[in-house]
Amino acid sequence: MSVLRGASLELGAGEFAALRGASGSGKSTLLWIAGALLAPDGGEVEIAGEKPYALNAEARARFRGRALGFVFQQFHLVPYLSVRDNVLAPRLAHHECDARAAEARADELIERFGLTSRRHHVPSELSTGERQRAALARALLNRPRLLLADEPTGNLDEANARAVFEHLKEFAAGGGAVLMVTHDARAAEQAPRQLTLKEGRLEAERAAAPAQA
Amino acid sequence: MSLWRLVLKELRHRKGNFALSLLSVSVAIATLAGALTLLRAHRQRTESLIAEKQAQVEAAAAKMEDEIRKITKNLGFNILILPKDQDLQSVYAEGFAEKTMPEAYAARLADANVVTIAHILPSLTRKFDWEEARRTVILIGTRGEVGEQKKPLLAAVPPGKLVLGYELHRQLNLKEGDSVGLKGRTFTVHKCYPARGSKDDITVWMDLAEAQQMLDMAGRINAILALECNCATLDRLAEIRAEVAGILPDTQVVEFQSQAVARAEARNLATAKALADLELEKRHREAMQREGETLAAWLVPLVLLGCAVWIGVLALVNVKSRLGEIGILRALGVRSGQILFLFLGKALLTGVLGATAGFGLGYGLCAAWNPGAGDLFDARVLALSLGLAPVLAAAASWIPAQIAARQDPAAVLRED
C-alpha cells in the first residue's frame, strides 16, 4: 500500500516543524523514513549531508546514533535502567566518544531537565512528565542534528507539555532541526513551521521564522 | 554505560526469568557432574573393593599354603609306592603290603630327582609277635629320608633304639631311655609317641637294617612313603604316577586320602573358588559400571537437551518481553550485533553461573552420598561443566537472540 505520494520536505538547521495529519495519513511513516528506520520505496532522503539509505544496516544504525534523536509518546525508556543510564544509553551506539565527556553531558542534561534528584530512579518511579524529560535528555546526548518527536506531549498534562515544547524550541534555537509529528492542532501551533499531511501529500504549509518561535 | 552493564541490569530486573534459566543450566550441569562423579565413585569403590578382596584372598592363600605344609608334615606321608603286584585290598585290610621290593628303589627314586616328590622314606612293615611283651605289634623298619633333604620331615630311628606307640609304652610302662628286649636283643626306648588314635599306637619303629635282619628280609622293603609337593597340576596322582612309572616300572603309586590331603584339596578348591568369585565380582562390577555409563550416556544428553529447549523458550520469552527495548535501542543506533551480544552475553553469564552452581550441586550431593568413596573431585569434570554450560546456554539462546537482532525497529516501535 502506498502511504506517501510525492511528499517532499526540506528542513533546515534551527527549524522546528510540526507535522499534522489524521490517523493513517502517513505522518508516522514519514517520521520513520526521516529517522533512517524505514527505507522508502522511492525518492531520496538526505540528512546532514548524508544519504542514510545508501548505507548498509550497520552503518545506518551508526548514523542514527550520531545524527538523530528520537522522542516518543510512550517514552520508551529502558525499564531497568536509571534515569542517568537511560540518558547514557545512546553511548552504546556511539561508544567511540569519551566516557567521561558523555557522563558529563548526561549530568548536564539531567540537570537542565530538572531530573537531578531523580537521576538514580528507574522509569517506573518517575512521573510521566519526568519520563518524557528523561527521554528528551536521552535524545539529546549525542548532540543530534535532527530531533524526531512522535506525539511527544500526547501523554502529558498541560504544564509538562509546555515544558517539553520549551525544550524542543531551545534545541532548535541551538541550531538543531526538530520534526514533530502530532494530531493535536494546539500542539502543532507550538511549532513555527506547520505541515499537514493529507492522503500522502504535504498539502498545507505555514512557515514562521525559527527565531520568532 | 556498556553492554555488560546493560546485561547485568537486565538480569537484576527480570529475576524470575534469570532464576529459571539459571536453574535450568544448574540442573543440566548437576546431572552431568553428578553422573560423572557417581561413575567415578563407583569405579573407585569397585577398585578399592576388588583390591581389598584380592588382598584377602592372597593372604588367605598364603596362610593356607603354610598350613598345608604343616598339616602334611604332622599327619604323615600321603603317597605310597608299593610293589606292582601287590593286591591293594590286602593293603587296605592289613595296613601294609605283603609283597616286597628292593630297598635300592628308594635310592634310585632319590637319585632321579623327581620334582614332584620332595621326601622319600623307605620302610618295611610287618605284624610281629613281640614275645617279650607278649603281644602282637606292628613293626616298622625305617631309615629316615633317602637323599639329601634341606628340611627332613622325619628323622631316622638310630640303630639299637626303638620308638614306641602310645599304647605300647603306656601298657609296658616304658619311657624314653628305658631298656627293653625284642627278639632276644636289647634296645633303648628312643621316643614315646602321644596317643594318635590309630595303628600307630601299637607300632614299634626301629632302624630299617635291624628290622630287615630281624625279619630275615635283608635289602627288602615293602613300601616307599613319599611326601608329594611342587605339583603343577591339580591331578597330582597322575603326575606322580607318570614320573614314578618312568623310574620304577614295577611299582604302583597309591595316594592315601588323608585328612591333610582332603583339607589341602578343599582349601585349594576354596582358593580357586575365591579367585573365581573375585573374578566374577570384578566382571559383575565392570558390567554394572558399563550399564551406568550407558545409562548416563542416554540420560545426560536427554537432560541437557531438555534444559537447552527450556533455556531457549525462556530466552524467547525474554526477547518477546523486550521488543520495545530492542526497538528503542536500535533507533538510538545500537547495531544488530550488539543486540545479539545482549542476549548471548546474558546466556554466557547464565551458563557460567549455572555451571558453578550445578557442579557444586551435583558434586556435593554425590560426595555426600558416597562419604567413603575417597577423593571424587575431578578438575576435568569442572572444566567440562564450565566449558559446556555457557556453550549450551548460548546455543539454546542463539535463535531467540537472532530474532531479537533482526527486529525491525520501526515495526517494533510502531506496534508499541
Band (B73; pLDDT cuts 50, 70, 90): low
Q: How many CB atoms lie within 10 A of CB B135?
A: 14
pLDDT value of position A207:
55
CA–CA separation, B301 vs B375, rounded Å?
Answer: 26
B interface test, pick of A3, A84, A92, A145 with most B CB neighbours within 10 Å: A92
**Cβ density class A1-14: b for 16+ within 10 Å, e for less:** eebbeebebebeeb
Summarize pLDDT for B20-51 with one digit per residue, the tens.
Answer: 999 999 999 999 988 888 888 888 888 888 88
Q: Given this structure, which CATH class describes domain A16-40+59-207?
A: alpha beta
Between residues A40 and A199, which one has the greater pLDDT?
A: A40
Rounded distance between C-alpha atoms, residue B328 and residue B409, angstroms:
7
Question: What is the band of B236 on the pLDDT scale with cuts at 50, 70, 90?
Answer: low
* pLDDT computed for residue B20 by the predictor: 93
Q: What pLDDT was estimated at residue B316? A: 93
Which residue from A63, A72, A81 is facing B9, i.e. has the nearest CB?
A81
From chain A, the residues in CB contact with B408 under 8 A are: 37
- pLDDT tens digits for range A124-150: 999 988 998 899 899 989 889 999 998
| Residue B217 sits at the chain A interface (C-beta within 8 Å) | no
Per-residue pLDDT, A213: 30
Chain A, chain B: beta-carbon pairs less than 8 Å apart = 92
Q: For residue B10, which residues of chain A lie inside 8 Å, CB to CB?
A: 80
Nearest to A181 by CA among A60, A43, A70, A56: A70
Most A CBs within 10 Å, among B325, B328, B330, B346, to test the A interface: B328
CB contact under 8 A, A37 and B410: yes
Contact B13 A80 (CB under 8 A): yes
Inform me whether the C-beta atom of residue A131 falls under 8 Å from chain B C-beta atoms. Answer: no
What was the pLDDT predicted at A93?
Answer: 80
Across the interface, do A93 and B332 touch by the CB < 8 Å criterion?
A: yes
Determine contact: A89 vs chain B, CB below 8 A: yes
Closest residue in A to B334 (Cα–Cα): A93
Q: Is A63 on the interface with B (CB under 8 A)?
A: yes
Give the model confidence (pLDDT) of B126-142 as tens digits: 999 999 989 999 999 99
Stretch B228-242: mean pLDDT, rounded?
A: 62
The rounded distance, in Å, linking the Cα atoms of A148 and A141 is 14
Closest Cβ–Cβ partner in B3, B14, B413 for A76: B413
Asked if A208 and A18 count as a contact pair (C-beta separation under 8 A), the reply is no
A170-174, A207-211, B93-97: the lowest-pLDDT one: A207-211
The CA distances from residue B33 to A34, B362, B364, in Å, are 55, 5, 10
**Which of A28, A37, A91 lies closest to B1 in CB terms?**
A91
Residues 6+ apart with CB under 8 A from A195: A9, A17, A18, A19, A20, A202, A204, A205
Q: For residue B52, is pLDDT > 50? A: yes
Question: Average pLDDT in the B158-166 region?
Answer: 94
What proportion of chain A, given as a percentage, has pLDDT over 90? Answer: 35
Number of continuous H segments (helices) and E segments (strands) in chain A: 7, 6
Do the Cβ atoms of B9 and A89 come within 8 Å?
no
Domain positions in chain A are 16-40+59-207
Q: How far is CA A163 from CA A87, A156, A157, in A?
A: 18, 10, 10
Residues A195, B77: Cα–Cα separation, whole Å: 129
The Cα–Cα gap between A208 and B96 comes to 148
How far is CA A80 from its chain centroid? 22
**pLDDT of the residue at A22:** 80
Question: Which tens digits make up the pLDDT trace of B380-414?
Answer: 889 999 999 999 999 999 999 999 998 888 888 87
pTM for this structure? 0.63
Residue B334 and residue A37: Cβ atoms within 8 Å?
no
List the domain boundaries for chain B: 3-59+272-415, 79-255
Q: How high does pLDDT run on average in chain A?
A: 85
Q: Which one of B13, B17, B318, B332 would you mutate to disrupt binding with A, by most A Cβ within 10 Å of its Cβ? A: B332
> Chain A within 8 Å of B334 (Cβ-Cβ)?
yes
Distance between CA B279 and CA B292 in Å, rounded?
A: 20
- Rg for chain A, CA atoms, rounded: 17
Chain B residues whose CB is inside 8 A of the A62 CB are 333, 335
Measured between beta carbons, the chain B residues lying within 8 angstroms of A79 are 13, 325
Q: Is some CB atom of chain B closer than 8 A to the CB atom of A93?
A: yes
Cβ-based contacts of B406 with chain A (< 8 Å): none
Residue B79 has pLDDT above 90, yes or no: no
Q: Which residues of A touch B325 (CB under 8 A)?
A: 76, 78-79
* 3-class secondary-structure state, position B143: coil
Q: How does residue B78 score in pLDDT terms, banded at 50, 70 and 90?
A: low
Q: What is the mean pLDDT of residues B81-94?
A: 89
Query: Distance between terminal CA atoms of chain B?
Result: 25
pLDDT of residue A212: 34
Query: Within 10 A of B309 (CB to CB), how many other CB atoms are there?
Result: 12
* B328 inside 8 A of chain A by CB: yes
Give which of A15, A7, A8 is closest to A179, Cα–Cα. Answer: A15
pLDDT > 80? residue B106: yes
Selection from A8, A13, A7 nearest residue A146 by Cα: A13
Is B415 in the A-facing interface, judged by CB distances under 8 Å?
Answer: no
